[in-house]
Amino acid sequence: MTDQQTPRDGENPEAPEDGAHRAAPGRARPAPHEESAAEIARENSARSVTEPAEAREADAAEQAHQQQVSEDVNDPERVRRLIAEYRREHGLPEDAVESPRAGADAKGAFAGDHREFDLVVRGRSVSCGDHFAPREIGVRDGRIVAVEPLGAGLRGREVVELAEDETLLPGLVDTHVHINEPGRTEWEGFASATRAAAAGGVTTVLDMPLNSVPATVNVPALEYKRLFARNNAFVDVGFWGGAIPGNKPHLRELHDDGVFGFKCFLLHSGVDEFPHLEADEMEEYLAEIKTFDSLMIVHAEDSRAIDRAPHPEGDVYENFLKSRPRGAENLAIAEVIERTRWTGARSHILHLSSSDALPMLATAKRDGLDITVETCPHYLTLLAEEVPNGATAFKCCPPVREVGNRELLWEGLIDGTIDFIVSDHSPSTLDLKDLENGDFGVAWGGVSSLQLGLSLIWTEARRRGVDLGRVVEWMSTRPAQRAGLRTKGKLALGYDADLVVFAADDAFVVDAGKLHHRNPITPYQGKALSGRVRRTFVRGRAVDFETPRGRLIRRGES
C-alpha cells in the first residue's frame, strides 16, 4: 500500500482545518464531498467576521449542520464498512492491523552481556542527559543495552564512528503532527510525513485526530487509520483521539485501544466533521477522562473574541493578525486552567503563541495543576513584522506575532513555563494556500516544518547562548515524558535506539523543493540554517527512505 490512497465515497478530501476557516452563517451548504476546495476556503474563511445578533439562528443552524456532518462522516458502522472494503481490496485477514517490525524488546540484555551488538555507535559528543561526553552506545534488538566510555571497544555487526563535527542525539519526539491520511492524502500522508520526520531527526510522531476522514473519534476510525499507516511509516507513529460533541461514550474505548490522549477545540476546528466543544462540555469531558487518567490537549482560542475581531481578508498580514487577537488565546487558556482546576484532570495547551498567557500558566503550575504547554518553531523564529504582503505560507492559527511577543516566549521556555517545542505540522495543497492571490482571509492556515524543526530551533537557540542539551530536552525528552513514551527521548539503558547524527555547525539554505513534505511550500524558503541531520536510526536501524520500518505504537507499550 502506497501513500497515494484516493479518498472513498463520503469522505471530504478538501475542507480546511485548525480554526483558520469557518463557513459563512446563514448559507446552505452542500454535503462535504460535493464542495470544491475553493468553495470550502471561501465559506470557512468568512466565519472570522463579526456576526450580528440576527445571525444567531443561522449560527445555531450551522452548528447543527456540523454535528450532522460529524455523525455521518464518523459513523462507526460506516467506518466498519470501509474497513471491510479495505481488507477485501488488499487481501488482509479480518484481524490485520499492523505488521510485526524489526526491533522488538531488548529481552533484558544490558551492559553486563558481552555478546556482539547489532549496532555500535562511537563518538566524542554523545548526549548523556544534561551533558555531552565521549561514549560508545551498544544496541541489541532495537534497544540501547550498553553505554560505555569511548575506548571500551564494544563489538558490533555494524559500527558507526562519528566524525569530529558530529553529535549523537536521541531521536526527537513530535507530538503534534497532522498527517491527514486517509481522506486528505494529497495534503500529506504517512509515507511523505514520516520521511520528512526522519530527515529532520524526528523518530516518533503522534498523529492528530482531525484532517483525516473519518476523524479519530471512535475505535473503528482509529483502526481504519492504522490500516493506512501500517506499511507506510518510516518512523514510529502513535495516535491521539478526538473529543467532539457526542463522542464521550467512545473515549474510554479509544483509551483502551492505545491513543495517547484526546484533542478538542474551543472554536470551529475548520472541518465540519470535527466539531468543537464549548467550555462546559470540555469540563464534562475532562471529568470523564480523569476517571482513566488520560490527557486532554486543547486548541485554545475563544470563538467569541474571534467573532468580534476584524475580518482578515486581503494580502496584508497585519489584517490577519488582528483577526486572531492574543485575547482570544488568553480567554480560552483561562477556561482550560479553571476547568482543569475544578476537575483535577490532566490538560495540555497546544501551540501557544500569546506570551500574555504565560503569567497565568505559571501561576497554574505553582498551584499544582497538572497542566503543560507547548509552542512551535514558527512562533520562536518568525516575526509578524517581517511577513511580506501576500505571503500566505506564513499563515497559521494562532498566528505568528510580533518581536516582543517572540522574546517573551523564549523567556517562558527558558524559565520552564513552556514545557516543550513541537511542529504543529499542518500542511495543505498549494491551491489552498491561495498563492495566486495571497489573500490571508482565504488561504489555509498551517505551517509545514516537520523536517526543519531541529535546525530552526538550534539556529535560534545558539544565537541566544542556549546549548544543544536544552534543545534536546525541549524537543525530545519532555514531549516523550508528557505523552507517556517511557522508552523514548533519551540515550539511556533500556530506551529505544532512536538515534540522530547531528552536525551542529553544518549550514544549509532551505529549498522547499528538496523537502520530503508532499507539497513544496514553507515560510522558511531561502533561509540559512545551522545544524544538519546526517543520519537517523529508528530502533537501531538506519532510515534509508525507501523501506518503511517504523512501528505503530500504543499508549503504555513504548
- What is the per-residue pLDDT for 306? 95
User: Which three-class secondary structure string do you get for 411-438?
Assistant: HHHHHCCCCEECCCECCCCCHHHCCCCC
Which DSSP helix (H) or strand (E) runs through 248? Answer: helix 248-256
The rounded distance, in Å, linking the Cα atoms of 174 and 177 is: 7
What is the grid cell recorded at 448? 509545514
So what's the pLDDT on residue 440? 97
Residue 411, φ and ψ in degrees, nearest 5 = -60, -40
Q: What percent of the chain has pLDDT over 70?
A: 86
The span from the CA of 128 to the CA of 162, in Å, is 16
Q: Which pLDDT value is given to residue 457?
A: 98
Describe the crossing of helices 219-229 and 76-90 by its angle, rounded to 10 degrees: 30
Separation of alpha carbons 325 and 162, rounded Å: 47
The residues near 277 (Cβ < 8 Å, ≥ 6 apart) are: 243, 244, 245, 264, 265, 266, 285
Q: How many CA atoms lie within 13 A of 42 on its CB side?
A: 8
Q: What is the pLDDT of residue 183?
A: 96
439-463 per-position pLDDT tens digit: 999 999 999 999 999 999 999 999 9
Q: What are phi and psi of 338, to 5 degrees?
A: -70, -40
pLDDT of residue 474: 98
Sign of the alpha-carbon torsion through 470, 208, 246, 290: negative
Residues whose CB is less than 8 angstroms from the CB of residue 487 and which lie 6 or more positions away in sequence, other chains included: 143, 494, 495, 496, 558
Give the single-character DSSP code of 496.
B
Q: What is the pTM for the complete model shown?
A: 0.89
The 3-state secondary structure of 531-552 reads EEEEEEEECCEECCCCCCCCCE
Cell of 401: 506575532
3-state SS class at 144: strand
Q: For residue 80, what is the DSSP state?
A: H
Cβ-based burial of 514 (10 A; exposed 0-12, middle 13-18, buried ≥19): exposed
Q: Alpha-carbon distance 503 to 534, whole Å?
A: 7
Sign of CA dihedral 400, 403, 408, 409: positive
For 171-185, write each residue's pLDDT tens digit: 999 999 999 999 999
pLDDT < 50: residue spans in the chain: 1-52, 99-112
Residue 425 main-chain phi, psi, to 5 deg: -60, 110
Contact status, residue 243 vs residue 254, Cβ threshold 8 Å = no
In the chain, the amino acid numbered 399 is: P
Q: Distances in Å between the alpha carbon of 299 and those of 47, 243, 251, 351, 387?
A: 17, 11, 18, 8, 24
Report whether 543 contacts 235 (CB < 8 A): yes
